[in-house]
Amino acid sequence: MPVIPGAMLDYYLGQGYYRMNQDLFTCRFLPLGSTLHTVHWLRLVVPRVQYGPKQRQLLRRNERFALTVQPLQLTAEHEALYARYHQALAFDTAPTLEALLLDGATHSVFTSYIIEVRDGQQLIAAGIFDHGQDSIAGIVNFYDPAYRQYSLGKYLMLRKTEYARRQQLAYYYPGYLVHEYPKFDYKLFACEAATEVLDCLNSEWLPFSWPEVARQSAAIVAERYLRDVFGESE
């Protein structure tokens, strides 16, 4: 099975597509309970990133941990850490890394890397990302629940940002957030001022702001209404 070229991955990320298992998908809505929320895809413009006090404090706090970045090869150690992380989750997701990333496939079409965070010899956190030609896409961060106080999920977002900066890449795609559902707002943590949000109806990336997200959400809902009621879109 061939590997997706980096430039092709960049293109699809720029169109608001994202990885699920061994496929690329996109969506505009996410059902949560009885409510349908709009989805808004994000990207970080890496050269514009500037850290504030919270980001700098987190980086200093976790300086004692050892960090490595390497091409992804899943190991029993990774799966054991993910299993501990999965047991502590309050929402449903894939039960193993293999299921999350490969879903039964024997070969990945994505060029993936892993950041490992260790306390001495113990693996306490890891973050996986896909590598394009000029961008990276964050796929999953997971950590030992015993180290929850170190905010390792956010820490790995910063470390992915730093990797992209060192590689002189243009964009880091962390996924999406959801209008009026703050659970995904942590994806703005690295640098909200350097974040763009995709206007999916016009295929245009715009500077992130909550009023812009609200405007896009209203437009997406209106477009869906027109399509469902009148069989047309604007």
- Give the pLDDT confidence of 162-197 residue by residue, as tens digits: 999 999 999 999 999 999 999 999 999 999 999 999
Q: pLDDT tier at 234 (50, 70, 90 boundaries)?
A: very low
Asked if residue 77 is part of any domain, the answer here is: yes
Asked if residue 216 is part of any domain, the answer here is: yes
Q: Pairing relation of β-strands 171-178 and 135-143?
A: parallel
Residues 6+ apart with CB under 8 A from 199: 205, 206, 216
Q: Pairing relation of β-strands 23-25 and 135-143?
A: unpaired
User: Is 1 a residue whose pLDDT tops 80?
Assistant: no
The domain tally of the chain equals 1
User: Is 232 a residue whose pLDDT tops 80?
Assistant: no
Asked if residue 1 is part of any domain, the answer here is: no
Determine the pLDDT at residue 225: 84
**Whole-angstrom distance, CA of residue 12 vs CA of residue 157:** 21
Residues 6+ apart with CB under 8 A from 226: 232, 233, 234
Determine the pLDDT at residue 62: 98
CATH number at residue 130: 3.40.630.30
Give the CA distances from residue 123 to residues 21, 32, 116, in Å, rounded to whole numbers and listed in that order: 24, 33, 7
User: Is 38 a residue whose pLDDT tops 60?
Assistant: yes
Asked if residue 221 is part of any domain, the answer here is: yes
Asked if residue 176 is part of any domain, the answer here is: yes
pTM of the entire predicted model: 0.95
Average pLDDT over residues 127-142: 98
Please write the tens of the pLDDT for every residue from 41-86: 999 999 999 999 999 999 999 999 999 999 999 999 999 999 999 9
Determine the pLDDT at residue 6: 98
Determine the pLDDT at residue 39: 98
**Whole-angstrom distance, CA of residue 180 vs CA of residue 52:** 25
User: Phi and psi (nearest 5°) for 116?
Assistant: -105, 135
Mean pLDDT of the chain: 95
> Among residues 179, 183, 190, which one has the least CA distance to residue 127?
190
Determine the pLDDT at residue 138: 98
Contact at 8 Å (CB) between 34 and 161? no
Average pLDDT over residues 15-22: 97
Determine the pLDDT at residue 31: 94
Structural domain boundaries enclosing 97: 6-230
